[in-house]
């Protein structure tokens, strides 16, 4: 320790001066008091040494923080190697000072790492046709992005950060509670160890601003309710320039008037005429793929019977092939019969023996038996 003049006064700078200002001041003064320029001037030489000492300290954020808090005292025992604070150490609290400031955090390793930005959720509704074919779409999301004027630093352009005075750059403060010393995150700098000299006006020091972003989203074929599409790095900007989070697109598939869906299976109910049901036939169903799928109706089919067409369902998400199309048959009773049709049906009725409809026959048999059981 060769000087007890205040380092900031020596360098003729404000206490809030940033690195650039310090450096400029140092260069100017070093030039002025350099021994080569002042031969034989011992005062200039002493001044030159003191300026170097001051700059060596203040250019290092950790040392500067210690100096801001404790002044020259922070360095007076520094070179002796005795600041471990063993029993009988005669500099009292200084042992703690050194442990606090130059302890584990001196290498810079213990400082909190900036957290990444938050993940965002966006709900995207698609039709079943879009879920079938896939879709390239554009969405608009309001996300907080890194502030442009300050480049995400939160500091007004041209100004910098300085070491937090309260915690001396450690990001933590210590407080005595009874017998114990507890550590907690510094309330001033929130654990970062640095504070902004003058906050950016655009983002009020947050380093982030909200902006409407247009993003392209490729919805793959086969998406279903609950499918999530991740857009990496499209979430919120991280605080103080930390990496952004991700954007998750939650897919919702709208209800379709004709088809229901379960996984890769497409399901629909199809009315068929009672004559087709009785005689059998073939119907064709226009699928989501734009093709007509013909389905064979076996003669004598009943309402509620399900017919399956393999490979005519939904595509497998990020896979190969397709699920099935399941058609549930509903036999429709005709309601608008012509006179001639009624005539024909009456004629048919007269030829009925009961054997044509085994279900009905069975039902009436069961009913008769139950009645007999009751009356016996």
* Interface positions with Zn ion (CB under 5 A): 147, 150, 164, 166-167, 186, 188-189, 200, 202-203
Question: 172 vs 234, which CB is nearer to Zn ion?
Answer: 172
Q: What is the smallest separation between the CB atom of 122 and Zn ion, expressed in angstroms?
A: 25
Q: What is the smallest separation between the CB atom of 115 and Zn ion, expressed in angstroms?
A: 17
Question: 135 vs 174, which CB is nearer to Zn ion?
Answer: 174
Question: 195 vs 312, which CB is nearer to Zn ion?
Answer: 195
Token pair belonging to 311: 């490979």
Question: 202 vs 256, which CB is nearer to Zn ion?
Answer: 202
Question: 207 vs 245, which CB is nearer to Zn ion?
Answer: 207
Question: 243 vs 286, which CB is nearer to Zn ion?
Answer: 243
SS (H, E, C) the chain: CCCCCCHHHHHCCCCCCCHHHHHHHHHHHHHHHCCCCCCCCHHHHHHHHHHHHHHHHHCCHHHHHHHHHHCCHHHHCHHHCCCCCCCCCCCCCHHHHHHHHHCHHHHCCCCCCCCCCCCEEEEEEECHHHHHHCEEEEEEEEEEEECCCCCCCCECCCCCEEECCCCCCCCEEEEEECCEEEEEECCCCCCCCEEECCECCCCCCCCEEEEEEEEEEEECCCCCCCCEEEECCCCCCCHHHCCCCCEEEEEEECCCCCCEEECCEEEEEEEEEHHHHHHCEEEEEECCCCCEEEEEECCCCCCCCEEEECCCCCECCCCCCECCEEEEEEEECCCCCCHHHHHHHHHHHHHCCCCCCHHHHHHHHHHHHHHHHHHC
Q: What is the smallest separation between the CB atom of 147 and Zn ion, expressed in angstroms?
A: 3
Q: What is the smallest separation between the CB atom of 71 and Zn ion, expressed in angstroms?
A: 19
Q: What is the smallest separation between the CB atom of 49 and Zn ion, expressed in angstroms?
A: 32
Question: 126 vs 189, which CB is nearer to Zn ion?
Answer: 189
Calpha distance 228→13 (Å, rounded): 56
Token pair belonging to 81: 């190697």
Q: What is the smallest separation between the CB atom of 103 and Zn ion, expressed in angstroms?
A: 16
Q: What is the smallest separation between the CB atom of 61 and Zn ion, expressed in angstroms?
A: 12
Q: What is the smallest separation between the CB atom of 318 and Zn ion, expressed in angstroms?
A: 40
Count the residues in the chain.
Answer: 376
Question: 163 vs 276, which CB is nearer to Zn ion?
Answer: 163
């Amino acid at each position: 320790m060769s000087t007890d003049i205040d380092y900031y006064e020596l360098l003729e700078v404000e206490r809030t001066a940033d690195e650039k200002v310090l450096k400029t001041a140092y260069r100017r003064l070093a030039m002025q008091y350099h021994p080569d320029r002042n031969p034989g001037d011992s005062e200039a030489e002493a001044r030159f040494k003191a300026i170097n000492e001051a700059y060596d300290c203040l250019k290092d954020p950790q040392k500067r923080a210690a100096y801001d808090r404790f002044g020259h005292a922070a360095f007076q025992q520094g070179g002796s190697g005795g600041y471990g604070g063993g029993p009988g150490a005669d500099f009292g609290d200084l042992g703690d000072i050194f442990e606090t400031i130059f302890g584990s955090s001196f290498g810079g390793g213990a400082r909190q790492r900036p957290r990444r930005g938050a993940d965002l959720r966006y709900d995207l509704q698609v039709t079943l046709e879009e879920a079938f074919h896939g879709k390239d779409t554009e969405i608009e999301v309001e996300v907080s992005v890194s502030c442009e004027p300050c480049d995400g630093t939160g500091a007004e352009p041209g100004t910098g950060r300085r070491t937090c005075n309260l915690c001396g750059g450690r990001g933590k403060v210590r407080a005595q509670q009874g017998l114990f010393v507890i550590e907690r995150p510094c309330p001033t700098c929130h654990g970062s160890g640095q504070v902004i000299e003058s906050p950016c006006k655009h983002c009020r020091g947050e380093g982030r601003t909200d902006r409407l972003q247009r993003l392209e989203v490729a919805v793959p074929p086969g998406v279903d309710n609950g499918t999530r599409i991740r857009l990496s790095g499209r979430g919120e900007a991280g605080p103080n320039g930390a990496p952004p989070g991700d954007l998750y697109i939650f897919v919702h598939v709208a209800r379709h008037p004709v088809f229901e869906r379960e996984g890769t299976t497409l399901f629909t109910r199809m009315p068929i005429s009672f004559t087709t049901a009785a005689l059998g036939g073939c119907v064709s169903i226009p699928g989501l793929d734009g093709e007509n799928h013909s389905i064979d109706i076996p003669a004598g089919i009943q309402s509620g019977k399900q017919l399956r067409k393999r490979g005519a369902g939904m595509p497998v998400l990020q896979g190969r092939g397709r699920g099935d199309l399941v058609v549930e048959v509903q036999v429709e009773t005709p309601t608008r019969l012509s006179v001639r049709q009624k005539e024909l049906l009456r004629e048919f009725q007269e030829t009925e023996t009961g054997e044509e409809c085994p279900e009905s026959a069975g039902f009436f048999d069961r009913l008769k038996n139950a009645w007999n059981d009751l009356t016996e």
